[in-house]
Amino acid sequence: MRVRNVGSIPVVVDRQSRKLLGIVTDRDLCCSVLAAGLDPKITPIEKHVTLHPVTCRDGDNVEKCERAMREHRLRRIPIVDAENRCIGIVALADVALRYKPEKVSRIVAEISKPSSQEPIAG
Protein backbone atom coordinates (compact mmCIF):
# COMPACT_ATOMS: atom_id res chain seq x y z
CA MET A 1 0.00 0.00 0.00
CA ARG A 2 2.77 2.41 0.88
CA VAL A 3 4.74 1.65 -2.28
CA ARG A 4 1.71 2.11 -4.56
CA ASN A 5 0.19 4.94 -2.45
CA VAL A 6 -3.20 3.21 -2.19
CA GLY A 7 -5.61 2.89 0.72
CA SER A 8 -7.02 -0.51 -0.09
CA ILE A 9 -6.17 -3.71 -1.88
CA PRO A 10 -8.68 -6.19 -3.25
CA VAL A 11 -8.15 -9.77 -2.13
CA VAL A 12 -8.74 -12.23 -4.96
CA VAL A 13 -8.69 -16.01 -5.29
CA ASP A 14 -5.70 -15.74 -7.61
CA ARG A 15 -4.25 -13.35 -10.17
CA GLN A 16 -5.57 -15.33 -13.10
CA SER A 17 -9.23 -15.53 -12.07
CA ARG A 18 -9.32 -12.21 -10.16
CA LYS A 19 -12.46 -13.48 -8.37
CA LEU A 20 -13.04 -11.09 -5.49
CA LEU A 21 -12.95 -12.56 -1.99
CA GLY A 22 -12.59 -9.41 0.07
CA ILE A 23 -10.72 -6.19 0.62
CA VAL A 24 -8.12 -4.97 3.09
CA THR A 25 -7.75 -1.28 3.84
CA ASP A 26 -5.22 0.93 5.54
CA ARG A 27 -7.85 1.49 8.24
CA ASP A 28 -8.19 -2.29 8.76
CA LEU A 29 -4.46 -2.53 9.28
CA CYS A 30 -4.25 0.46 11.61
CA CYS A 31 -7.27 -0.47 13.73
CA SER A 32 -6.88 -4.22 13.95
CA VAL A 33 -3.15 -4.80 13.63
CA LEU A 34 -1.22 -1.76 14.81
CA ALA A 35 -3.71 -0.60 17.47
CA ALA A 36 -3.79 -4.14 18.87
CA GLY A 37 0.00 -4.12 19.18
CA LEU A 38 0.49 -6.90 16.64
CA ASP A 39 3.67 -7.08 14.62
CA PRO A 40 2.68 -6.28 11.01
CA LYS A 41 5.73 -8.12 9.68
CA ILE A 42 4.53 -11.49 11.00
CA THR A 43 0.76 -11.08 11.40
CA PRO A 44 -1.19 -13.09 8.78
CA ILE A 45 -3.40 -10.77 6.76
CA GLU A 46 -6.25 -13.30 6.41
CA LYS A 47 -7.82 -12.37 9.75
CA HIS A 48 -7.97 -8.69 8.80
CA VAL A 49 -9.61 -8.94 5.39
CA THR A 50 -13.22 -7.77 5.03
CA LEU A 51 -14.90 -10.66 3.25
CA HIS A 52 -17.79 -10.12 0.81
CA PRO A 53 -17.28 -6.35 0.48
CA VAL A 54 -19.86 -3.98 -0.95
CA THR A 55 -19.22 -3.80 -4.70
CA CYS A 56 -20.47 -2.05 -7.79
CA ARG A 57 -20.69 -3.59 -11.25
CA ASP A 58 -18.72 -2.46 -14.27
CA GLY A 59 -21.87 -1.02 -15.88
CA ASP A 60 -22.91 1.04 -12.84
CA ASN A 61 -22.66 4.81 -12.95
CA VAL A 62 -20.83 7.12 -10.53
CA GLU A 63 -24.08 8.05 -8.81
CA LYS A 64 -24.71 4.42 -7.84
CA CYS A 65 -21.19 4.16 -6.39
CA GLU A 66 -21.73 7.38 -4.48
CA ARG A 67 -25.04 6.09 -3.02
CA ALA A 68 -23.36 2.83 -1.97
CA MET A 69 -20.53 4.80 -0.33
CA ARG A 70 -23.01 6.92 1.63
CA GLU A 71 -25.24 4.00 2.58
CA HIS A 72 -22.39 1.81 3.81
CA ARG A 73 -20.05 4.66 4.89
CA LEU A 74 -17.22 3.52 2.61
CA ARG A 75 -14.42 5.46 0.97
CA ARG A 76 -13.58 2.80 -1.62
CA ILE A 77 -15.66 0.27 -3.51
CA PRO A 78 -14.31 -2.58 -5.65
CA ILE A 79 -15.74 -2.80 -9.16
CA VAL A 80 -16.51 -6.31 -10.40
CA ASP A 81 -17.70 -7.75 -13.68
CA ALA A 82 -20.56 -10.22 -14.17
CA GLU A 83 -18.34 -13.11 -13.00
CA ASN A 84 -17.36 -11.25 -9.79
CA ARG A 85 -13.84 -10.63 -11.12
CA CYS A 86 -12.27 -7.50 -9.68
CA ILE A 87 -11.58 -5.01 -12.44
CA GLY A 88 -10.87 -1.90 -10.37
CA ILE A 89 -11.76 0.30 -7.42
CA VAL A 90 -13.70 3.54 -7.23
CA ALA A 91 -12.44 5.81 -4.47
CA LEU A 92 -14.14 8.76 -2.85
CA ALA A 93 -11.61 10.97 -4.62
CA ASP A 94 -12.88 9.63 -7.98
CA VAL A 95 -16.44 10.51 -7.00
CA ALA A 96 -15.36 13.95 -5.77
CA LEU A 97 -14.00 14.80 -9.22
CA ARG A 98 -17.53 14.40 -10.68
CA TYR A 99 -19.45 16.72 -8.34
CA LYS A 100 -19.52 20.32 -7.17
CA PRO A 101 -17.72 21.07 -3.87
CA GLU A 102 -20.99 21.50 -1.95
CA LYS A 103 -22.16 17.99 -2.84
CA VAL A 104 -18.73 16.52 -2.16
CA SER A 105 -18.80 18.13 1.28
CA ARG A 106 -22.19 16.52 2.05
CA ILE A 107 -21.01 13.11 0.81
CA VAL A 108 -17.82 13.24 2.88
CA ALA A 109 -19.75 14.34 5.97
CA GLU A 110 -22.21 11.48 5.61
CA ILE A 111 -19.55 8.86 4.97
CA SER A 112 -17.49 10.11 7.92
CA LYS A 113 -20.25 9.98 10.56
CA PRO A 114 -19.25 7.66 13.37
CA SER A 115 -21.48 4.68 13.88
CA SER A 116 -23.11 4.01 17.22
CA GLN A 117 -20.66 1.13 17.65
CA GLU A 118 -17.55 3.29 17.34
CA PRO A 119 -16.27 5.11 20.42
CA ILE A 120 -15.95 8.84 19.95
CA ALA A 121 -12.33 9.96 20.33
CA GLY A 122 -11.89 12.78 22.76
Mean of the per-residue pLDDT values of the chain: 88
Percent of the chain surpassing pLDDT 70: 93
pLDDT tens per residue across span 79-111:
999 999 999 999 988 888 888 888 888 888 888
Q: What is the pTM of this model?
A: 0.80
Fold of 8-111: CBS-domain (3.10.580)
Beta-carbon count within 10 A of 80 CB: 20
- Residue 70 backbone phi and psi in degrees, to 5: -65, -45
Q: Where are the domains of the chain?
A: 8-111
pLDDT at 72 over 90: yes
